[in-house]
Protein backbone atom coordinates (compact mmCIF):
# COMPACT_ATOMS: atom_id res chain seq x y z
CA UNK A 1 0.00 0.00 0.00
CA UNK A 2 1.29 3.46 -0.84
CA UNK A 3 2.07 5.69 2.10
CA UNK A 4 -0.29 8.63 2.45
CA UNK A 5 1.55 11.84 1.69
CA UNK A 6 1.39 14.35 4.50
CA UNK A 7 2.12 18.04 4.58
CA UNK A 8 5.56 17.26 6.00
CA UNK A 9 6.44 15.25 2.89
CA UNK A 10 4.71 17.49 0.35
CA UNK A 11 7.09 18.85 -2.25
CA UNK A 12 9.06 15.61 -2.41
CA UNK A 13 6.77 13.72 -4.81
CA UNK A 14 8.12 12.62 -8.16
CA UNK A 15 5.44 14.82 -9.73
CA UNK A 16 2.10 16.37 -8.99
CA UNK A 17 2.81 18.74 -6.13
CA UNK A 18 0.45 21.70 -6.08
CA UNK A 19 -2.52 20.15 -7.90
CA UNK A 20 -4.80 18.06 -5.66
CA UNK A 21 -5.95 15.80 -8.53
CA UNK A 22 -2.38 15.19 -9.66
CA UNK A 23 -1.19 14.65 -6.09
CA UNK A 24 -3.95 12.09 -5.46
CA UNK A 25 -3.09 10.28 -8.70
CA UNK A 26 0.58 10.12 -7.74
CA UNK A 27 -0.11 9.04 -4.17
CA UNK A 28 -2.80 6.42 -4.77
CA UNK A 29 -2.43 5.10 -8.33
CA UNK A 30 0.81 5.74 -10.19
CA UNK A 31 3.20 2.84 -9.92
CA UNK A 32 0.81 0.49 -8.17
CA UNK A 33 0.11 -2.83 -9.93
CA UNK A 34 -2.86 -2.79 -12.28
CA UNK A 35 -4.42 -6.06 -13.42
CA UNK A 36 -7.47 -6.90 -15.49
CA UNK A 37 -8.05 -6.48 -19.18
CA UNK A 38 -10.53 -3.58 -18.96
CA UNK A 39 -8.27 -1.77 -16.50
CA UNK A 40 -5.18 -2.20 -18.67
CA UNK A 41 -7.15 -1.33 -21.82
CA UNK A 42 -8.16 1.95 -20.17
CA UNK A 43 -4.57 2.76 -19.16
CA UNK A 44 -3.21 1.99 -22.62
CA UNK A 45 -5.97 4.07 -24.23
CA UNK A 46 -5.34 7.03 -21.94
CA UNK A 47 -1.58 6.84 -22.46
CA UNK A 48 -2.27 6.95 -26.20
CA UNK A 49 -4.47 10.02 -25.80
CA UNK A 50 -1.73 11.62 -23.69
CA UNK A 51 0.82 11.30 -26.49
CA UNK A 52 2.05 14.83 -27.21
CA UNK A 53 0.15 16.32 -24.26
CA UNK A 54 0.60 16.55 -20.51
CA UNK A 55 -0.74 13.76 -18.32
CA UNK A 56 -2.69 16.22 -16.16
CA UNK A 57 -4.76 17.11 -19.25
CA UNK A 58 -5.79 13.47 -19.63
CA UNK A 59 -6.29 13.04 -15.90
CA UNK A 60 -8.74 15.95 -15.79
CA UNK A 61 -10.68 14.45 -18.69
CA UNK A 62 -10.61 10.86 -17.40
CA UNK A 63 -14.20 10.86 -16.02
CA UNK A 64 -15.50 11.96 -19.43
CA UNK A 65 -13.32 9.39 -21.21
CA UNK A 66 -14.75 6.68 -18.97
CA UNK A 67 -18.28 7.83 -19.72
CA UNK A 68 -17.98 8.11 -23.51
CA UNK A 69 -15.90 4.93 -23.90
CA UNK A 70 -18.39 2.73 -21.98
CA UNK A 71 -16.14 2.46 -18.90
CA UNK A 72 -13.53 1.00 -21.27
CA UNK A 73 -15.45 -2.24 -21.61
CA UNK A 74 -13.54 -3.82 -24.52
CA UNK A 75 -16.60 -5.59 -25.97
CA UNK A 76 -18.67 -2.39 -25.94
CA UNK A 77 -15.92 -0.23 -27.44
CA UNK A 78 -15.14 -2.87 -30.09
CA UNK A 79 -18.72 -2.47 -31.31
CA UNK A 80 -18.32 1.29 -31.90
CA UNK A 81 -18.81 2.38 -35.49
CA UNK A 82 -18.38 5.55 -37.56
CA UNK A 83 -21.33 7.25 -35.84
CA UNK A 84 -19.56 6.74 -32.52
CA UNK A 85 -16.35 8.19 -33.93
CA UNK A 86 -18.27 11.29 -35.03
CA UNK A 87 -19.99 11.49 -31.63
CA UNK A 88 -16.63 11.34 -29.88
CA UNK A 89 -15.09 13.92 -32.20
CA UNK A 90 -17.90 16.29 -31.22
CA UNK A 91 -17.46 15.83 -27.46
CA UNK A 92 -15.39 18.73 -26.09
CA UNK A 93 -14.94 16.94 -22.76
CA UNK A 94 -12.34 14.57 -24.24
CA UNK A 95 -9.30 14.89 -26.49
CA UNK A 96 -10.81 15.00 -29.97
CA UNK A 97 -8.18 13.41 -32.16
CA UNK A 98 -9.56 11.12 -34.86
CA UNK A 99 -6.45 8.92 -35.01
CA UNK A 100 -6.44 8.37 -31.25
CA UNK A 101 -10.17 7.71 -31.11
CA UNK A 102 -9.98 5.23 -33.98
CA UNK A 103 -6.92 3.58 -32.40
CA UNK A 104 -8.81 3.11 -29.12
CA UNK A 105 -11.69 1.43 -30.95
CA UNK A 106 -9.24 -0.66 -32.97
CA UNK A 107 -7.41 -1.62 -29.78
CA UNK A 108 -10.68 -2.80 -28.24
CA UNK A 109 -11.18 -5.00 -31.30
CA UNK A 110 -7.61 -6.30 -30.99
CA UNK A 111 -8.27 -7.10 -27.33
CA UNK A 112 -11.45 -8.99 -28.22
CA UNK A 113 -9.41 -10.91 -30.81
CA UNK A 114 -6.87 -11.79 -28.07
CA UNK A 115 -9.74 -13.17 -26.01
CA UNK A 116 -10.95 -15.18 -29.01
CA UNK A 117 -7.47 -16.76 -29.11
CA UNK A 118 -7.72 -17.63 -25.42
CA UNK A 119 -5.23 -14.94 -24.41
CA UNK A 120 -5.51 -11.94 -22.10
CA UNK A 121 -4.05 -8.47 -22.21
CA UNK A 122 -3.11 -8.87 -18.55
CA UNK A 123 -0.89 -11.89 -19.29
CA UNK A 124 0.63 -10.23 -22.35
CA UNK A 125 1.28 -6.88 -20.64
CA UNK A 126 2.79 -8.33 -17.47
CA UNK A 127 4.92 -10.86 -19.37
CA UNK A 128 7.26 -7.95 -20.19
CA UNK A 129 7.95 -6.99 -16.58
CA UNK A 130 11.68 -6.46 -16.15
CA UNK A 131 13.78 -8.04 -13.44
CA UNK A 132 13.41 -6.38 -10.05
CA UNK A 133 15.06 -2.99 -9.75
CA UNK A 134 18.23 -2.66 -7.77
CA UNK A 135 18.21 -0.31 -4.80
CA UNK A 136 19.73 2.42 -6.99
CA UNK A 137 16.71 4.59 -7.71
CA UNK A 138 16.82 7.57 -10.03
CA UNK A 139 17.58 10.83 -8.24
CA UNK A 140 15.86 13.04 -10.85
CA UNK A 141 13.55 12.67 -13.85
CA UNK A 142 16.57 13.14 -16.10
CA UNK A 143 17.75 9.75 -14.78
CA UNK A 144 14.52 7.95 -15.75
CA UNK A 145 14.57 6.35 -19.21
CA UNK A 146 11.89 7.11 -21.79
CA UNK A 147 11.96 3.53 -23.07
CA UNK A 148 13.43 0.18 -22.12
CA UNK A 149 14.14 -3.08 -23.90
CA UNK A 150 10.97 -4.43 -22.26
CA UNK A 151 8.80 -1.52 -23.45
CA UNK A 152 10.16 -1.98 -26.96
CA UNK A 153 9.33 -5.70 -26.84
CA UNK A 154 5.85 -4.99 -25.40
CA UNK A 155 5.23 -2.42 -28.14
CA UNK A 156 6.19 -4.95 -30.82
CA UNK A 157 4.00 -7.66 -29.28
CA UNK A 158 0.99 -5.36 -29.04
CA UNK A 159 1.46 -4.12 -32.61
CA UNK A 160 1.68 -7.72 -33.80
CA UNK A 161 -1.63 -8.34 -32.02
CA UNK A 162 -3.21 -5.40 -33.89
CA UNK A 163 -2.89 -2.59 -31.34
CA UNK A 164 -2.06 0.99 -32.38
CA UNK A 165 -0.64 4.04 -30.56
CA UNK A 166 1.47 1.66 -28.49
CA UNK A 167 4.99 2.84 -29.28
CA UNK A 168 7.84 2.02 -26.88
CA UNK A 169 7.72 5.42 -25.12
CA UNK A 170 3.96 5.21 -24.63
CA UNK A 171 4.29 1.64 -23.39
CA UNK A 172 7.05 2.60 -20.97
CA UNK A 173 4.74 5.26 -19.53
CA UNK A 174 2.00 2.64 -19.24
CA UNK A 175 4.42 0.24 -17.55
CA UNK A 176 5.30 2.97 -15.03
CA UNK A 177 1.67 3.89 -14.41
CA UNK A 178 0.59 0.25 -13.99
CA UNK A 179 3.38 -0.79 -11.64
CA UNK A 180 5.26 -3.01 -14.09
CA UNK A 181 8.27 -0.78 -13.42
CA UNK A 182 8.75 1.33 -10.32
CA UNK A 183 10.30 4.66 -11.25
CA UNK A 184 9.48 6.64 -8.13
CA UNK A 185 12.47 8.87 -7.47
CA UNK A 186 14.75 8.10 -4.55
CA UNK A 187 13.40 11.01 -2.51
CA UNK A 188 9.74 10.21 -3.13
CA UNK A 189 7.69 9.27 -0.05
CA UNK A 190 5.82 6.69 -2.14
CA UNK A 191 8.93 4.56 -2.69
CA UNK A 192 8.07 0.91 -2.13
CA UNK A 193 10.80 -0.97 -0.35
Full pLDDT tens readout for the chain, 193 residues: 233 333 334 468 889 999 999 999 999 999 999 999 999 999 999 999 999 999 999 999 999 999 999 999 999 999 999 999 999 999 999 999 999 999 999 999 999 999 999 999 999 999 999 987 667 888 898 999 999 999 999 999 999 999 999 999 999 999 999 999 999 998 898 885 4
Q: Write the CA distances from 35 to 72, 94, 138, 140, 187, integer angstroms.
A: 14, 25, 25, 28, 27
Which candidate in 23, 29, 39, 55 is catalytic?
Answer: 55
Report DSSP state, residue 11.
Answer: T
Instruction: Report pLDDT for 5.
Output: 36
Told to judge if 25 belongs to the known catalytic residues of this protein, a careful annotator would answer yes
For residue 59, give the CATH number of its domain. 1.10.340.30
- Measured distance CA(26)–CA(174) in Å, rounded: 14
Instruction: Report pLDDT for 131.
Output: 85
**Residue 190 included in any domain:** no
- Measured distance CA(166)–CA(151) in Å, rounded: 9
Instruction: Report pLDDT for 179.
Output: 94
Please give the sequence-ordered ranges of beta strands (E in DSSP) within 11-110, or none if there are none: none
Q: What burial class does residue 63 get, using C-beta atoms within 10 Å of its C-beta: 0-12 exposed, 13-18 middle, 19+ buried? A: exposed
Told to judge if 172 belongs to the known catalytic residues of this protein, a careful annotator would answer no
Domain count, the chain: 1
Which candidate in 22, 30, 42, 47 is catalytic?
Answer: 47
Range of the domain at 149: 23-129+137-177
**Residue 18 included in any domain:** no
Instruction: Report pLDDT for 191.
Output: 80
- Whole-model pTM? 0.90
**Residue 160 included in any domain:** yes
Told to judge if 55 belongs to the known catalytic residues of this protein, a careful annotator would answer yes
**Residue 159 included in any domain:** yes
Instruction: Report pLDDT for 2.
Output: 31
**Residue 41 included in any domain:** yes
Instruction: Report pLDDT for 162.
Output: 98
Which candidate in 25, 30, 126, 172 is catalytic?
Answer: 25
**Residue 186 included in any domain:** no
Amino acid sequence: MTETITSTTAGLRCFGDGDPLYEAYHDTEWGLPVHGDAELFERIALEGFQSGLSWITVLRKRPAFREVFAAFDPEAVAAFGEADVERLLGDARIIRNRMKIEATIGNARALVALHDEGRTLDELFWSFAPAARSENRPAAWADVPATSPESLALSKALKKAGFRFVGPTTMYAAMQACGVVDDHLATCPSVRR
